[in-house]
Amino acid sequence: MARIAIIGGGPAGLMAAEAASERGAAVTVFEAMPTAGRKLLMAGKSGLNITHAEAREQFDTRYGSAQARLQAALDGFSPQAVREWCAGLGGETFVGSSDRVFPRAMKASPLLRAWLRRLAEQGVSLRTRHRWQGFDGDALVFDTPDGRVTERFDATVLALGGASWPELGSDAAWIPWLAERGVKITPFRPANCGFEVDWSPVFVDRFAGQPVKAVKATSDAGSLAGEFVVNAWGIEGSLVYAHSAALRDRLERDGSASLRLDLVPGRTEERLARDLARQQAKASFSNRLRKGTGLDGVKLALVRELVPDAAALDPVRLAHAIKNLLLPLKRTRSLEEAISSAGGIGWADLDDSLMLKSLPGIFAAGEMLDWEAPTGGYLLTACFATGRLAGIGAARYVRGE
Ligand SMILES: Cc1cc2nc3c(=O)[nH]c(=O)nc-3n(C[C@H](O)[C@H](O)[C@H](O)COP(=O)(O)OP(=O)(O)OC[C@H]3O[C@@H](n4cnc5c(N)ncnc54)[C@H](O)[C@@H]3O)c2cc1C
């Protein structure tokens, strides 16, 4: 029986294992950590947004410049297929807010347990604490609790993840081993990340940790409504992540970037100016601002923090400032803290089955490939889909197809 190695026991690797084993190969999954799927479990802590229910044409655009290269993988394992697959493991899904799809259990552990059980029943062998250390000729080298071992396989799927949250296993240590063999790797950068801001100490003291809800934010990514969190070093949260690729790119290009906030998206600028003008002239500025805008707490403090001369502005200018509050960003938070990473193995080095052109029989899948997407279930969907495509490719390769 042909033997296939899958290196990396995350969503992409386990899906590759499932697809290859269904096609009759003897599959071994090698995982560096003591257990598989640690990042999947971490994703489950926020409910496990496993895919998205928007129309396919819209869904596919979320992968930006990688859309065309991910098409075949997504055709083979669509968002709907993700939901059916989940249900097959006893994890019925539902469509939550903004069309995000979650398992009813709102966590990953039951799903991962059922998946690992089914893989074992299917004959997939999982070897944890096996850290791949590169190649020895055409053999794979692993560090194991019993020392270094070298093994040969008929095909291999690499599914080692990106470079965020390295403590969960994906530490990108593989880059030099592939680069030495001529594979071009786009440097990893933070994606779905927070941004550092020069807050005043007073603002941090009073408001670090507070959510800023129901605002609109604008960047090169467009205008989006949502919420984010202010913390001691800057800003993070879903609305910031949605803008993060655009803001990161602008910071890299121009050396500076700002997120434009509309703190009162429900009112026009003219209406807000009228409401501010109606306030009693003898009232304190704080009271005029609060009553005229309806803002309080952290939102009110943001106006004061970001518009130091706010008290001196007439209602028209003040309304304009509140609906166009420029929040200057210093830099992205580190790659290690980002939800995901951009960059990875370049598409020019991969064929349509995700085999590395310079390394016949070696396939790659998941976040280690050069694509990025916002949060919303797009990350896991593409990891599953590319894992499946690579697993099928490896199974066909060993059959000489
Ligand atoms: C906090 C957080 C929340 C998230 N929430 C969501 C969400 O709700 N929805 C969503 O779609 N996505 C979410 N993601 C992203 C998603 O979890 C990842 O995109 C996905 O897990 C990547 O899958 P992967 O299989 O490519 O890599 P990983 O899940 O990183 O798996 C790679 C595996 O390879 C192993 N490995 C690495 N190097 C070696 C080696 N040398 N030898 C052997 N094994 C090795 C690692 O230990 C790891 O188990 C979240 C991520 C984080 C950090």
CA of 11 to the centre of ligand 1 (A): 7
Output the pLDDT for position 245: 97
Q: How much helix, strand and coil, in percent to the nearest 5, is found in the chain?
A: 40, 25, 35
Ligand 1 atom at minimum distance from 172 CA? 38
As given in the structure block, the two tokens for residue 235 are 């800003």
31 lines ligand 1 (CB under 6 A): yes
Measured CA distances, 97 to 175, 211, 227, 240, 353 (Å): 38, 18, 13, 17, 35
- Give the closest residue (by CA) to ligand 1 atom 29: 10
CA of 318 to the centre of ligand 1 (A): 45
* Distance, C-alpha 3 to centroid of its chain: 32
Give SS3 for 100. strand
As given in the structure block, the two tokens for residue 203 are 């603002």
Contact 341, 367 (CB under 8 A): yes
CA of 39 to the centre of ligand 1 (A): 4
Distance CA 142, CA 119 (A): 22
CA of 200 to the centre of ligand 1 (A): 35
The DSSP code for 345 is E
Give SS3 for 36. coil
190 lines ligand 1 (CB under 6 A): no
Output the pLDDT for position 97: 85
Distance CA 349, CA 359 (A): 9
The pair phi, psi for residue 263, each rounded to 5°, is: -80, -15
Output the pLDDT for position 217: 98
Contact 348, 184 (CB under 8 A): yes
Output the pLDDT for position 346: 98
169 lines ligand 1 (CB under 6 A): yes
Contact 4, 153 (CB under 8 A): yes
In degrees, rounded to 5, the angle at the alpha carbon of residue 162 between the alpha carbons of residues 156 and 168 is 95
* Distance, C-alpha 316 to centroid of its chain: 40
Given a cut of 70, the residues of the chain with pLDDT beneath it are: none
- Per residue in 259-278, pLDDT tens? 999 999 999 999 999 999 99
Helix 297-306 crosses helix 285-293 at what angle (to 10 degrees)?
120
Contact 179, 349 (CB under 8 A): no
Please compute, for residue 57, the number of CA atoms within 13 A of its CA located in the half-sphere on the CB side.
0
For a pocket test of ligand 1, which of 30, 236, 380, 386 has the largest count of ligand atoms closer than 8 A to its C-beta?
380
Output the pLDDT for position 281: 86
108 lines ligand 1 (CB under 6 A): no
Output the pLDDT for position 211: 98
For a pocket test of ligand 1, which of 74, 144, 339, 381 has the largest count of ligand atoms closer than 8 A to its C-beta?
339
Query: Hey, how many other C-beta atoms are within 10 angstroms of the C-beta on 143?
Result: 14
- Give the closest residue (by CA) to ligand 1 atom 47: 169
* DSSP-H helix ranges across 122-237: 175-179, 201-207
Give SS3 for 187. strand
In 194-313, DSSP assigns E strands to 195-196, 211-219, 222-231, 234-236, 257-262
383 lines ligand 1 (CB under 6 A): yes
Distance CA 368, CA 366 (A): 5
Measured CA distances, 268 to 218, 310, 312, 325 (Å): 16, 19, 21, 14
